[in-house]
Amino acid sequence: MENKLQIFLKSNLLNKYLVGDTSLEETKEVEHFISKYPEVAQAYEKLQENLEIVTKAGAVDVPNHILNDILEALEDTNDTKVIQLVQKRKTSWFSIAASAAAVLFAATSFMLYQKNVELNNENNVVVEEIFDLRSDIENNNSKLDELSKELLKLNNPDAKKYVFNGNERAKDLKTVAYINPVEKTSMIDVITLPQLPKEQQYQIWAELQDRMVNLGILDESDRKLKQIPYMEDALALSIKIGTKGDNANENDTEVAEISLKEE
């Protein structure tokens, strides 16, 4: 249905309907879209406003230089006296007026044509802006849905909150972990991570009964909730500083730790 709406708005049927140039079937189609889709109704109202502007712009006074040229032509016609062997019929005032009207009509038609071109260009811009706006709204709605889902996870009564505070090696470090043992999910929210040399990085580890498991890398750019692997029997989580490019090493420098043992 979205593709059908886009095709309709780009089909120029609204312009034809506005000036009464649509067939019976096209008229029914346009009126159906106007009544059903607010975007089409809004675009049609904009077209009507633009047509009023063009109509007012077309109702202009006749340029003075055109009238002066016509009067000078009339004076030249009256003053000219030529003796001819064959008498020619004098040009009637009606013919002169008709010629003047034709000139004015041509000038006005050209002006209206230019206005119509400008109006069509403006209408195309309006249609593009409508689609851009709809795209922005859809993107924002998607982000809101994603945020809503994350908040539901955080507000789940089964989720437990754990706060990492850095030791002397990283005093400004602060990160929060949310662990839900019922749904078996783990998330971490990076709040602040002190800057490290380019060759180093922060890693999060899970301590099990018999080993340490690397759960991934933490970065200052991850300033949002981040999913991490859930470890069923983890006794603690810790944040360590390791070297980029090297294999994960459980003996890396530890800068923060939380206990997951039930008190």
| Distance separating alpha carbons of residues 248 and 203, to the nearest angstrom | 8
What is the arithmetic mean of pLDDT over 69-85? 52
| Distance separating alpha carbons of residues 84 and 92, to the nearest angstrom | 19
Task: Tell me the angle at which helices 2-9 and 38-58 cross, rounded to the nearest 10 degrees.
Answer: 10
pLDDT for residue 108 = 82
All structural domains of the chain with their residue ranges: 2-77+91-153, 160-259
pLDDT for residue 57 = 55
What's the mean pLDDT when you consider all of the chain? 77
181-197 in b/e burial notation, b at 16+ Cβ within 10 A?
eeeebbbbbbeebeeee
Answer whether CATH 2.20.28 is correct for domain 160-259. no
Q: How do residues 30-67 score in pLDDT, each as one tens digit? A: 899 999 888 888 888 888 887 776 666 555 554 555 55
Q: Read off the pLDDT band of 236 (50, 70, 90).
A: very high
The two beta strands, 185-192 and 174-180, are antiparallel
pLDDT for residue 205 = 92
| Distance separating alpha carbons of residues 194 and 177, to the nearest angstrom | 18
3-state secondary structure of 200: strand
Q: How do residues 130-177 score in pLDDT, each as one tens digit? A: 878 877 887 777 766 665 666 666 567 778 889 999 898 888 899 988
Q: How do residues 93-107 score in pLDDT, each as one tens digit? A: 556 666 677 777 777
